[in-house]
């Protein structure tokens, strides 16, 4: 299965680590340090960019035709509202 994960903080990177063992995973994050870390630590395609930006999604091969069977958007402030 092809999976795109947008946002690779603590939760997103854990999901990427688990899924990359048996699936093709692409991760997207705006933080260049996170992208570099995942590029070297996991077997994933890591892209620096905004996951809501059409060009970033094209870079991830998500558009123009959706090749991912799953997309996961993970943002920490959604998990722990103030």
Tens digits of pLDDT across the chain (82 residues): 888 888 888 889 999 999 999 998 999 999 999 999 999 999 999 999 988 888 888 877 766 555 656 666 666 554 444 4
Range of the domain at 14: 2-75
| Closest of 70, 42, 19, 32 to residue 62, by C-alpha | 70
pLDDT of amino acid 35: 93
CATH number where 47 lies: 3.40.50.720
Count the domains in the chain: 1
Residue 40 maps to a domain: yes
Q: How many other β-carbons are positioned within 10 Å of the β-carbon of residue 68?
A: 19
| Rounded CA separation 21/40 (Å) | 15
Tell whether 38 is covered by a domain.
yes
Give the pLDDT of residue 79.
46
50 within a domain of the structure (yes/no)? yes
């Amino acid at each position: 299965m092809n999976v795109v994960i947008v946002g690779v903080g603590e939760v997103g990177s854990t999901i990427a680590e688990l899924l990359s063992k048996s699936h093709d995973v692409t991760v997207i994050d705006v933080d260049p340090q996170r992208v570099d870390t995942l590029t070297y630590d996991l077997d994933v395609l890591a892209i620096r960019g905004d996951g809501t930006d059409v060009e970033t999604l094209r870079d991830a091969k998500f558009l123009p035709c959706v090749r991912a069977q799953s997309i996961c958007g993970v943002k920490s402030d959604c998990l722990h509202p103030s």
